[in-house]
Structure 1
Amino acid sequence: MFFDDERSARLRPQILTEVVSQYLNDSERAAFYGLPESTRIRERAKIISQENLRIGEHCWIGEGAVLDASGGLEIGEHTSIGLNTLIFTHSSWLSNMTLQNHSGSDLIERKPVKIGKGCFIGGLVVIMAGVTIGDFATVQPNSVVAKDVPPRTLVAGNPARVFQRYDEEYIQSEVERVRAENARRRALSDDPSGWGSPSGDFSG
């Protein structure tokens, strides 16, 4: 049933690592993968070539995300990667076009991806090889990022393009708005001790 060739021997530890990780909580999984202690990595997330991944403190990786670090992947501190998001740092396009898509093909191309600090990458996003996403950028869900994203911008679409730019003043005004609203909701809530916004209808 199990092959005993070089490729199988190389892939088997990664397969077993993914199986074992499904039985761990976020913090245990981060420790298991050797990520910073403050990392929260959800179930079914997959890291390819983990040795090429550099990730900052307080990052969140959503369920089913695939982080391909084979070409080099850097994720800055306080960045979230949405569920089922795909980050590619390699492409087999040329090996497909030339009918040379065999294991070990020398036509695989690798380019690093860099995602800055304080970024919010929505769910179901695809980030292509070679892309740099600037600090404090937001990528809306279902976007395909095929070129660099400037800092402090919101991008969306396929291909993703800039829809909004925001400065520190705008962010601070949003911080004040959300904190005030959450304080109001907690004051009306049956459980005022919780963090963030209490659930329920507080429109009255």
Structure 2
Amino acid sequence: MSSEQDDLKQALLASVTALWESDSFPLRDTDRTRNLRPEILRRLLSLVMTDDERAALFNLPEGCRIRDTAKIIAQENLVCGKYVWIGEGTLLDASGGLEIGDHTSIGAGTMVWTHSSHLSNLAMKNESGNGLIQRKPTRIGKGCLIAGPSVVYAGVTIGDKCLIQPMSVVTKDVPSYSVVMGSPGKVVRTLSEEAIEKMIRDAGA
């Protein structure tokens, strides 16, 4: 390491230390912060990991990959299949219960919800931990592609082998073998095993 690089890095460490020790970097010691802090630190440290290492850190099954800046809320309520890919900036809210089937991909910037806080806002009671949060389980089948950025509403069930086109907003249940696009999302095509096999042949796979 060159002397110039060493000096720069030492100066950066000194700046971080000074910020950490200053009163302008406030940390709170509450039940809420103690519960949240380990998860925040885990996500921060995971930024230096590869996508498969990150999936292992989050105890996801065989073959899963999570790109950097993806976030899982209430991971203890996530039931995840094998070979699931989760893209950059994806938000998976599992607080109301979330299931994702084998070989499904959730594209970059997608938001999958299992709760809504709109009643808290309308009632002017948006304090943390209020009792107006509504939670509903969301399910995404196996062999699906949720192309990002898209949004899946709380309580929605998406069947197996569905293609959700980019920029879609899925507000209601989607049958298996559906192609969905738009806001609100609508089924624009129905696939079949024969159609899928032809697509694979046409792709030369």
Pair in the same fold by TM > 0.5: yes
Q: In the TM superposition, what is the alpha-carbon distance from 1:37 to its structure 2 partner?
A: 2.6
In the alignment, is residue 157 of structure 1 matched against residue 192 of structure 2?
A: no
* Partner SS for 1:38: coil
What residue in structure 2 maps to residue 126 of structure 1?
Answer: 151
Q: How does 1:169-188 map to 2 (within 5 A)?
A: 169-179=194-204
Give TM-score, length-normalised by structure 1. Answer: 0.87
1:145-178: CA deviations, max 9, x gaps?
1100111010000000010001111111111111
Task: Please list every run of 5 or more consecutive structure 1 residues that lacks an aligned counterpart in the other structure.
Answer: 181-204
**Aligned equivalent of 1:93:** 118
Q: Deviations over 1:8-28 (max 9, x none)?
A: 111111111110111100111
Do residues 72 (structure 1) and 72 (structure 2) align?
no
Q: Percent identity?
A: 53
1:179 Cα deviation from its structure 2 partner: 1.4
State the alpha-carbon separation in 2 of the partners of residues 109 and 100 from structure 1: 14
SS at match of 2:88: coil
Aligned to 2:161: 136
In 1, Cα distance between the equivalents of 2:90 and 2:127? Answer: 25
Which protein is bigger by CA-based radius of gyration?
Answer: 2
- Is residue 129 of structure 2 the alignment partner of residue 104 of structure 1? yes
User: CA–CA distance in 2 between the matches of 1:109 and 1:117?
Assistant: 26
Length-normalised TM-score, structure 2:
0.86
**Aligned amino acid, residue 92 of structure 1:** S
Amino acid at match of 1:108: I
* 2:52 pairs with one of 23, 27, 32: 27
Partner SS, residue 99 of structure 1: coil
Counterpart residue number, 2:42: 17
Alignment partners' CA distance in 1, 2:45 and 2:80: 22
* Mapped pair 1:51 → 2:76: yes
* Whole-angstrom CA distance in 2 between matches of 1:73 and 1:179: 35
2:63 to 30, 38, 41: 38
CA displacement 1:12-71 (0-9 Å, x = unmatched): 111111101111001110110000131011111100000000111111100110100000
Contact 1:153/1:166 (CA < 8 Å) preserved in 2? Answer: yes
Are the aligned partners of 1:27 and 1:37 in contact in 2 as well (CA < 8 Å)? Answer: no
| Count of residue pairs the alignment pairs up | 180
Aligned to 1:146: 171
Within 5 Å, give how 1:185-204 maps onto structure 2: none
- Aligned AA for 1:47? I
Q: Which amino acid aligns with 1:2?
A: L
**TM-superposed deviation, 1:121:** 0.4
Instruction: Flag the structure with higher helix content.
Output: 2
- One-letter amino acid of the structure 2 residue matched with residue 86 of structure 1: M
Q: Which runs of 5+ in 2 are unaligned?
A: 1-25
Q: Which amino acid aligns with 1:157?
A: G
